[in-house]
Amino acid sequence: MEFTLLIVIIVLALIFDYINGFHDAANAIATVVATKVLTPFQAVLWAAFFNFLAYWVFGFGVADTVAKTASTMDINLVVILAGVIAAICWNLLTWWLGIPSSSSHTLIGGFAGAAIAHAISVHGFSGYLTPDGATHYWYNIVSWYKEGKDGGMPSGVVIIIAFIVLAPLLGAFISYLISIWLLNASRKSIWPKLFTISLMILTVWFVESQMLYYDKIEKPRFDSHFWSVAFEAHNIKWFLVAFIILSVSSFCLIFSSLNLNQANSILKKMQLLSSAAFSLGHGGNDSQKVMGIIAAAVAVYIHTSGVSQVSLPDWLQVVLPNEDLDIKGAMPGWIPLACYSAIAAGTLSGGWKIVKTMGSKITKVTSFEGVAAETAGALTLYFTEHLKIPVSTTHTITGSIIGVGLTKRISAVRWGVTVSLVWAWILTIPISALLAGLVYFVLSLFF
């Protein structure tokens, strides 16, 4: 029974990943469709390709964070099953209504809600002793907050909730700055060019400081030092950051010498780059969440079934990392490959209701705004992934679109639409948690 439940969870998790793809397809393609750079069909092909390409770019930091939403030693497989079912239901409902809610927060809310329901059903509201002698309560089953190792970034559900606000604000702030930068670059003045050159130098210096060289790479892919450094996943991510910033910088250096038609033509081509960059970030961020759920399910299966890690088949050899015990995480190749394939296939299916909301209802988007919004969104996703924080790609791109709208005037943003989106964001985690709790109690009658 336990093994059957595990297989069901893995299948449903991949179905959720597929739904996530078409639910969030609009995030990456809305602006290129709205500005008629690509047709809807071309846009989803473009986004799906870069969703899948993220498999070779990003690590598993976000997956680790999601897997540790609840203590895997204190839950069973029914908890994870309930969380995934609740997440699928909420995703389908918001997709049907055309609301760009967060698939990430749906999954985390569902996982946490089912875990809390399990703790209450097993221990009630009174305290109970854990094997180490500490007194815990029902709410302790969720990892709310954990300090980062050696002063690093803290983790936990509180940090994820904080980024419901911070991610769109960060996206809006970066897109506003990029828009102001581009607007000033169109002036025939030496100062914007000096600023751009300084930014290019600073970018090269910063990215170089983040590189992992051959002696620091744990498992080099090639004997050649050059190719090992060039194709190290950590390095590829920073190469992309440099490429994005340097590409926009190069355009800014020649912007003032172009006429309107020439500028629009180049900006439309740059939209292909910015939407590709955002699709990479979307694939890397959102696929990892499903990897985390699958990894947590395997860890729970090992704990509840009594099966030893050694006796598991090779395709289930998952190890959750533990910084305190200095244990490195491990995951068989089929899990990330399946997750990235599922989200790419989902993106190919499109999500046209949400495209309309993202591409036209928030603010009118031109190629200029599209480049600024997608570039800001991509940079935000790359940095949050680097910090292992599972943020919402939906919230990030929405904030970025609002940021470019603000450069025109405050009234250019349709705040009525925005307020309704914010309500959807606020309610996603608690509704998903409540729904998962109900699903858990129903499933507990049968398992």
Tell me: the pLDDT tens digits for 118-163?
999 988 888 777 766 778 888 888 988 887 776 667 878 888 888 8
Query: In which element (H, E) is residue 7 found?
Result: helix 2-34
CA dist 249 and 181 (Å) reads 9
Long-range contacts of 215-219 (CB under 8 A, 24+ apart): none
Mean pLDDT for 408-427 is 63
pLDDT tens column, 10-68? 999 999 999 888 777 666 677 777 777 877 778 888 888 998 988 888 877 777 778 77
E strands, 22-61, where?
Answer: none
Task: Give whole-number Cα distances, 112 to 67, 117, 303, 313, in Å.
Answer: 11, 9, 19, 29
Across 307-326, average pLDDT: 72
CA distance 398 to 165: 12
Radius of gyration of the chain (CA): 22
The model's pTM is 0.85
